[in-house]
Chains A and B, each alone.
Chain A
Amino acid sequence: MKKAILVMLICLLVCTGCSLGKETSERESASRELFAMDTIMTLTVYGEHAQEVLDLAEAEIERLDQMLSTGNPEGEIGTLNRTGKVNLSDDAAYLFEESLKLNDMSENAFNPMIYPVMEAWGFTTDEYRVPSKEEIGQILPLVDLSLAEYQEETGVLQFRKEGVKIDFGGIAKGYTSGRLMELFQENGIEDAVVSLGGNVQVIGKNPKQELWKVAIRDPQDPSGFLGIVRVTDQAVITSGGYERYFEEDGKRYHHIIDPNDGFPADQGLISVTVISRDGTLADGLSTALYVMGLNRAEELWKQHPDLFDAVFVTDSNELYITEGLKECFTSDTYTVKIIPE
């Protein structure tokens, strides 16, 4: 009888000991969800003072949102679009210079001056309409980065033409997630994952001390994933026409507009995911590569294989990955074709 009690107690002790050990071995962590930049963001960090670091992160997001939102007339970009002139902060100056690089790299597949065209399509107000070719033809000359004059010495950005508007929305979330990673590391956080409306960036390892596993949404199946990529210290950013679109007269119009002709990009891709250490680049390139189509995207990657990797899904349901992802990408739903360097 007594033996039985002792055995039972030892079992209990061992069992609870295990669970206790598990609890104490887990590091401090905190998660937060917030609404900013017209989307839902989730931030999770592991390390000391996790809550305080998230407070800093939230303040930083708020600051950048106020600064970069086209909808905030008193913000930096709001002021610029309203008056045609503004003193750029360091953040906005960086975004402008990155935009020039991305625009050049992608042969105008990325252009932050596309805003007046987005307005014509109603994508800025959700009052969708299909503008005529003539109307687009009149607006398209405004989509030209040489109409924005930036003086590095004074920090002043000025438009050279009436009606010109700029929007860093195509890289703002990627820039923000990159800033958050810097902020986390400056404050002693080694492991973190953020999703800014589905734009993912990570540092360190997941709670199991493995690479972070990022599932990528399948453009053909809103419940499923096209595959999983295992990464550390990377941004994983997906663009697809399936994210936002409207239909008129049975035709579907999505929100990724080709700056070269002012109409929804139609180059045979339905989803592009860019994986890069640089969140700003990943964000800008995911739309640019979508606009460029597979062949030109492939060429661009071959010029810069160290800058980024990518996953493409074509409208004929083929999935391609760049060679750099060979070891870290898996898919249950597609046959994976590798683009060699």
Chain B
Amino acid sequence: MKKRKEADPFRINRYDIILTAALAAAAVICVILFAGFHDTSEGAFVRITVDAEEYGIYELSQPVQIRIETDRGNNLIQIRDHQVTMLEADCPDGYCIRKGPISRIGDTIVCLPHRVVAEILSADGHADEFDVIAQ
């Protein structure tokens, strides 16, 4: 008698299966919703770093070309139509140019030989620093 009772909580019955399925479904829906709201949406800013030091944060709404010249080499980054493109680079591999335009939050262009990184940020991805730029 006693032994059977102790074993009971470890046996999976059909309510457990239903509960598990419901929870799993809820989790999946939540994850999809969460991703839909965040990870795949269009960014508002791009942060450029050179050798892991912040070089600048730019609004995607303001068309501009940013020329970065360091001892490692030269890069020309373009912001236009809400997209960021590596326009020119004299790096040996040219991967950064082939990456093409980026605009979604979290997207990056990396020029490894020159240690130049451009990362798309959300409107509040930089909010510890600021909300808007006066210029």
Distance in angstroms between the alpha carbons of A237 and B58 in the assembled complex: 18
Task: Provide the main secondary structure of the chain A interface.
Answer: strand
Residues of A within 8 A of B123 (CB): 31, 44
Within 8 Å by CB of A207, from B58, B127, B134, lies B127
In the complex, what's the smallest C-beta–C-beta distance from A58 to chain B, in angstroms?
A: 15
- A212 at interface by CB-CB < 8 Å: yes
Residues of B within 8 A of A228 (CB): 129-130
B124 touches A16 (CB 8 A): no
Residues of A within 8 A of B37 (CB): 23
Distance in angstroms between the alpha carbons of A243 and B135 in the assembled complex: 8
B30 touches A16 (CB 8 A): yes
Query: A1-9, A122-130, A248-256, A319-327: which one contacts chain B?
Result: A1-9
Distance in angstroms between the alpha carbons of A207 and B55 in the assembled complex: 26
- A208 at interface by CB-CB < 8 Å: yes
A237 touches B61 (CB 8 A): no
- A156 at interface by CB-CB < 8 Å: no
Residues of B within 8 A of A13 (CB): 23, 26-27
Given known pairs A5-B20, A223-B56, the reply for A195 and B124 (CB within 8 Å) is no
Q: Name B13-39 residues within 8 Å CB distance of A.
A: 16, 19-20, 23-24, 26-27, 30-31, 33-34, 37
- A12 at interface by CB-CB < 8 Å: yes
A-B contact count (CB 8 A): 102
Q: Name A207-248 residues within 8 Å CB distance of B.
A: 207-208, 212-217, 222-225, 228, 236-238, 243
Q: Name A1-59 residues within 8 Å CB distance of B.
A: 1-3, 5, 9, 12-13, 16-17, 19-20, 23, 31, 33, 40, 42, 44
Q: Residues of A at under 8 Å CB distance from B?
A: 1-3, 5, 9, 12-13, 16-17, 19-20, 23, 31, 33, 40, 42, 44, 193, 195, 198-200, 202, 206-208, 212-217, 222-225, 228, 236-238, 243, 273
- Interface CB pairs A-B, < 8 A, 12: A9-B23, A13-B26, A16-B31, A207-B127, A212-B131, A213-B127, A214-B130, A214-B131, A215-B129, A215-B132, A216-B134, A222-B56
